[in-house]
Amino acid sequence: MRHPIVLVPSCSHQIGLHPYYAAQHKYVDAVVKGAACTPVIVPALGEALDIDALLDMADGVMLTGSPSNVHASLYGQDVRDPSLPQDRARDATTLPLIRAALKRGVPLMAICRGFQEVNVALGGTLHQAVHDVPGMNDHRESKGEALDVQYAAAHKVVLQAGGMLARLLQGQSEINVNSLHGQGIDELAPGLQIEAVAEDGLVEAYSVIDARFALAVQWHPEWQVASNPVSMRLFTAFGDACRAHRDRIP
């Protein structure tokens, strides 16, 4: 039996003189090590992509994080800080893909930027600088530190009792998570169910109501996934949903 195929939309990065379609190793590796699925990196080609053809062959979609921000115009705002990285090619690829995948019931797992993209794709908005919102904490990483410091547990999140995440984590009420983001959920889109919140009240995880499996988290479960039991539960559940989709009777 073939492994389920998981689409991993790329970012568009400039490396030297050339633009690249790129996806970080840790996300692609987590699809294999955590979900036991086969990753397929999708170039950020936007409307040039045949999304239906991609979803015809896909058993899941995983949206990665990225230092770039979802363009604020996509949720009706002006860009607050133009010096921060953007990736319009990725936006033009992921937002239509998210809507199409959810419409078809393709399992979806979204991480960090991906978490923000799903909210925007479904009509929600973002804080462009969480740390400048009165009463909110600074959720950014210390960029000058080593990666194992940047991705270390930074704060706790309280799980929604009776929610999908609480069930997946067998009734745990809170977990410690890493935190590498300057933006965050402001208005939650219709049809989303909060699954976890940070100590300052920021939404840190949600699921899509009525979806068989659509889970989005602001933190990074892909980081050293195999050595983190909580992350392994999330990726295993995603992989199981992809296997069920692969074996569905059309």
Residues annotated as catalytic are 112, 220, 222
- Rounded-to-integer distance, Cα 157 and Cα 174, Å: 6
223 exposure class (CB count in 10 Å sphere: 0-12, 13-18, 19+): buried
Q: Which is nearer to ligand LF53FM6H, 75 or 243 (CB)?
A: 75
Q: Is 128 in the site for ligand LF53FM6H (CB under 6 A)?
A: no
* Residues 21-40 contacting ligand LF53FM6H, CB under 6 A: 24
- Contact residue for ligand LF53FM6H among 23, 28, 157, 180 (CB under 6 A): 180
- Which residue do the tokens 């009777």 mark? 249
- Rounded-to-integer distance, Cα 117 and Cα 107, Å: 16
Angle (deg, nearest 10), helices 88-104 and 113-121:
70
Here the tokens at position 179 are 């935190």
Q: Is 178 in the site for ligand LF53FM6H (CB under 6 A)?
A: no
Q: Is 65 in the site for ligand LF53FM6H (CB under 6 A)?
A: yes
- Rounded-to-integer distance, Cα 104 and Cα 83, Å: 37
Q: Which is nearer to ligand LF53FM6H, 105 or 224 (CB)?
A: 224
Task: Please report how close the Cβ of residue 111 comes to ligand LF53FM6H at its closest, in angstroms.
Answer: 7
Q: Is 245 in the site for ligand LF53FM6H (CB under 6 A)?
A: no
Q: 217 - beta bridge partners?
A: 111, 205
Task: Please report how close the Cβ of residue 52 comes to ligand LF53FM6H at its closest, in angstroms.
Answer: 27
Q: 6 - beta bridge partners?
A: 39, 60
* Residues 100-119 contacting ligand LF53FM6H, CB under 6 A: 112-113
User: Interface residues with ligand LF53FM6H (CB under 6 A)?
Assistant: 24, 65-69, 112-113, 180-183, 220
